[in-house]
């Protein structure tokens, strides 16, 4: 029983091996055909490339022999001449003076004594230069700076405001005194006389000089008569103590609005 079983197993193995060998052989046959096709295509490409090559035969063209630079230099003709260093003569230029005016021209001969005197006249020689005392210098007025009243270090001082030690109180006194003086000197009846009514506004701008005088008074009003009256009232302000910027006296500008009502 065992022998028969072994024989059957060996027979089945031989059958299995025979099938694998057949497949392997079939694969080898297929690969051989593929390799043959690849080799054939490569051979065709090589042959095609060889046919494309061209071989030209002919005589070799040898160029002309090289040129000898030394011979060319030696054979060149010499066409230059070395000149001597001859100094050039410089001719003096004659300066011809043109007459300033062409009116009443006079022709003078070469032997005329007038012409001889003009040529032989020696130049004027100054013995000494001018001294400092001989030079006159005009005294120019000093340049005084002008600032708005709010930008100076020391405000201008109205007469009677020196009793205040505080800077702020002095300036308040300055403003009140100016406003009170203008209101007292300004004639508001001029507005009614010129047909104006209601609230009238006049803007006044003036300068307090570095000497304390009232200068450059300007006014803007709804009527020329009011403008004249405002300028007149401002010019009547008393002389003040000038303002200072640091330790220097300066001019200051001051603007004052004036309002009043005409019934």
pLDDT digits (tens, 9 = 90+) for 43-53: 888 887 777 76
Q: Which two tokens stand for residue 138?
A: 């005009």
Are the C-beta atoms of 221 and 260 separated by less than 8 Å?
Answer: no
Q: Cα separation of 8 and 6, whole Å?
A: 5
Q: Which two tokens stand for residue 51?
A: 């046919």
Pick one of 3.30.420, 1.10.357, 3.30.450, 3.30.1150 as the CATH number of 146-262: 3.30.1150
| 165 or 74, which is more confident | 165
H helix count then E strand count, the chain: 6, 5
Beta-bridge partner residues of 147: 252
pTM of the model: 0.47
User: Is residue 148 classed as helix, strand or coil in its secondary structure?
Assistant: strand
pLDDT band for position 254 (50/70/90)? Answer: very high
Q: Give the model's pLDDT for residue 258.
A: 86
């Amino acid at each position: 029983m065992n022998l028969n079983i072994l024989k059957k197993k060996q027979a089945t193995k031989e059958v299995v091996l025979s099938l694998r060998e057949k497949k392997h052989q079939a694969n080898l046959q297929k690969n051989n055909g593929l390799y043959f096709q690849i080799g054939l295509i490569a051979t065709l490409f090589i042959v095609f490339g060889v046919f494309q090559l061209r071989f030209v035969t002919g005589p070799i063209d040898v160029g002309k022999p090289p040129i000898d630079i030394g011979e060319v230099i030696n054979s060149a003709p010499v066409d230059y001449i070395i000149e001597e260093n001859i100094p050039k003569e410089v001719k003096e230029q004659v300066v011809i003076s043109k007459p300033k005016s062409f009116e009443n021209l006079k022709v003078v001969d070469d032997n005329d004594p007038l012409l001889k005197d003009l040529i032989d006249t020696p130049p004027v020689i100054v013995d000494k230069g001018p001294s400092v005392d001989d030079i006159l210098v005009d005294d120019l007025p000093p340049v005084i700076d002008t600032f708005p009243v709010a930008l100076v270090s020391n405000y201008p001082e109205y007469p009677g405001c020196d009793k205040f030690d505080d800077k702020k109180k002095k300036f308040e006194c300055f403003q009140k005194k100016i406003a009170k003086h203008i209101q007292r000197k300004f004639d508001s009846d001029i507005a009614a006389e010129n047909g104006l009514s209601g609230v009238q506004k006049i803007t006044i701008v003036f300068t307090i000089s570095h000497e304390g005088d009232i200068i450059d008074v300007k006014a803007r009003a709804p009527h020329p008569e009011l403008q004249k009256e405002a300028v007149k009232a401002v010019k009547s302000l008393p002389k003040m103590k000038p303002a200072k910027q640091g330790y220097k006296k300066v001019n200051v500008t001051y603007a004052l609005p004036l309002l009043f009502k005409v019934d």
